[in-house]
């Protein structure tokens, strides 16, 4: 079976590919594509795959926009960090979905459903889907994260998050109690998902919550040094080109 993964988080895409091969070593992932533009170009140049995994939020637009530019009759399993009205939309249209981070057992169940329904697959009503998910384009910020702790899953409310940091090639959520928990999001993606009144990207390595800022010091070259609670593992500086915006954010 040939599968196409459309996902703008590289680590998430690689993890999904690994889960698919664990489920069925015969599955061939034809490509991992990060954007609407790249997906449209690929679909125009290649035969349709047997199945598409589609992230709702891509780096350049909603994933649904792909099908406004190219006709695709392939079955789709949507992946999303959102629930509530999203899930309602997919259920109404008889489309399967997976909430991130993707659980292996749920993936297997979705693949089983695909095998059962693929002979009777009917393409989704795209206009109806777009109407149902239109609220996604309005501010609707992520308020919790699912993290894996061994064999268990834990839901972390954003009010429990002190800051996010990028260390040793991975992104970590740091709780107010000092727990460092790996998550499948880049800091760039988190900036899009989180309420900008609560979180600020101070530099390339740190995205901090207002509640975590303990003390602010003037530093050299117009930069600011932050003391965070809990204490960060490395020095946290607000870059000079962000210092003015940071001060304005503090005063909002």
| Among candidate residues 199, 214, 212, 211, the one with its CA nearest the CA of residue 246 | 199
| Among candidate residues 119, 124, 98, 116, the one with its CA nearest the CA of residue 16 | 98
| pLDDT tens sequence for the chain (252 residues) | 999 999 998 889 999 999 999 999 999 999 999 999 999 999 999 999 999 999 888 888 888 888 888 888 888 888 877 665 455 555 544 467 888 888 999 999 989 988 887 776 666 555 556 565 555 444 578 999 989 887 888 899 999 999 999 998 999 999 999 999 999 899 999 998 999 989 999 999 999 999 999 999 999 888 999 999 999 999 999 988 889 899 989 976
Rounded to two decimals, the pTM is 0.55
At 94 the pLDDT is 44
At 80 the pLDDT is 79
Q: How many helices (H) and strands (E) does the chain have?
A: 8, 15
At 141 the pLDDT is 87
At 60 the pLDDT is 86
The strand pair at 161-167 and 206-209 is best described as antiparallel
Alpha helices in the chain (DSSP H): 10-23, 36-45, 66-69, 85-92, 104-117, 126-133, 187-193, 240-250
DSSP state of 62: B
- What is d(CA 212, CA 61) in angstroms, rounded to the nearest whole number? 32
Q: Delineate the domains of the chain, giving CATH numbers in brackets.
A: 2-137 (3.40.50.2300), 144-250 (2.40.50.1020)
CA atoms within 13 A on the CB side of 100: 24
DSSP state of 84: T
At 82 the pLDDT is 66
């Amino acid at each position: 079976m040939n599968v196409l993964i459309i996902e703008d988080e590289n680590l998430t895409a690689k993890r999904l590919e690994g889960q698919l091969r664990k489920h069925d070593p015969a599955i061939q992932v034809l490509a991992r594509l990060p954007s609407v533009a790249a997906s449209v170009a690929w679909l125009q140049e290649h035969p349709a795959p047997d199945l598409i995994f589609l992230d709702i939020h891509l780096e350049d637009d909603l994933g649904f926009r792909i099908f406004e530019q190219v006709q695709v009759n392939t079955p789709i399993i949507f992946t999303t960090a959102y629930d509530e009205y999203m899930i309602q939309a997919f259920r109404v249209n008889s489309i399967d979905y997976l909430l991130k981070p993707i659980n292996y057992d749920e993936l297997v169940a979705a693949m089983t459903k695909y095998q059962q329904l693929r002979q009777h697959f009917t393409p989704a009503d795209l206009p109806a889907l777009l109407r149902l998910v239109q609220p996604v384009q309005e501010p609707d910020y992520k308020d919790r994260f699912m993290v894996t702790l061994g064999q268990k899953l834990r839901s972390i409310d954003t009010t429990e998050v002190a800051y996010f940091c990028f260390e040793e090639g991975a992104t970590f959520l740091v709780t107010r109690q000092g727990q460092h928990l790996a998550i499948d999001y880049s800091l760039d993606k988190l900036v899009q998902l989180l309420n900008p009144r609560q979180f600020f990207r101070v530099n390339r390595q740190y995205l901090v919550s207002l509640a975590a800022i303990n003390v602010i010091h003037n530093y050299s070259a117009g930069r600011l040094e932050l003391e965070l609670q809990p204490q960060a593992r490395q020095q946290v500086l607000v870059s000079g080109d962000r210092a003015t915006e940071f001060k304005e954010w503090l005063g909002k």
